[in-house]
Structure 1
């Protein structure tokens, strides 16, 4: 029996305009294996709930409209309470390349993302680290990454 203790249960991402952000997050989360579980949009509030059902544990990411009185504050990377960036695991280098070509390039053409770095090797992080870095419409930073060093480090921890 696997333990889910300590794994991410859900995450809520506040956005300026949920309808606009849905045009960004829908293809991104769809590619990553999430399914749209629920959504609603009206003049004052909007949200989307995205879930992964394939890991036998609740795993949900929601985008929710920021309170109107606070939406003009914007995102300040590095500020207390704001994430620096979120990284999602890729299956292979080809997966990173495909995500970039099929999802990020069209979103960037539509003005819904800024690609900070197309797929590239990042030896400054680790040997074999391969990633693309991109921003959502509000400037929240994301990464899609292959990091084979996790497997090496895990094996090194196991008793011989």
Structure 2
């Protein structure tokens, strides 16, 4: 295989209806479409991958999600330009009273410009403009490796 695409991400949510409304507001302006909405799951797609929302059974609702625990830290969605990140803040986040995280609404420079916010379960979401971020030549890929998981077993 020369490369793969991420197929889907499934998010278990504590307030199913509230989460569907939230993701309708934040995904559709990014080019996503809600494909199906059933009692057991809701599916969004951008034509390349899917995000699936599912209600969490009550017995699994505690402890609640926290991005610093084991598991997902955040989701990041590409934006086509810096101005589109700013437009997203003005046209999507503000009208739906979705607060931005951190001290500024959007931040960065010509290589990485983003805004962060949270979904109803506090899953952090980022909308980012970063041309070339996934290419091997991007600056973060030029950092020296300082950890060998095969030699340093049991260490973090």
> Which TM-score bucket, shorter chain as reference?
0.7 to 0.9
CA contact (8 A) 1:92 1:146 kept: yes
- Decide which of 101, 114, 138 is 1:116's aligned counterpart: 101
- Decide which of 45, 57, 63 is 2:53's aligned counterpart: 63
- Show the counterpart of 1:48: 42
1:91 aligns with 2:80: yes
- Show the counterpart of 1:107: 96
4+ residue runs over 6 A deviation: none
1:144 aligns with 2:138: no
TM-align CA RMSD: 2.2
TM-score scaled by length of structure 2: 0.77
| Structure (1 or 2) with the greater strand fraction | 1
The gaps in structure 1 that reach 5 residues or longer are: 155-160
- Show the counterpart of 1:18: 16
The gaps in structure 2 that reach 5 residues or longer are: 139-156
- Show the counterpart of 1:153: 137
TM-score scaled by length of structure 1: 0.75
User: C-alpha displacement at 1:152, in angstroms?
Assistant: 8.9
- Show the counterpart of 2:26: 28
Q: How many pairs does the alignment contain?
A: 135
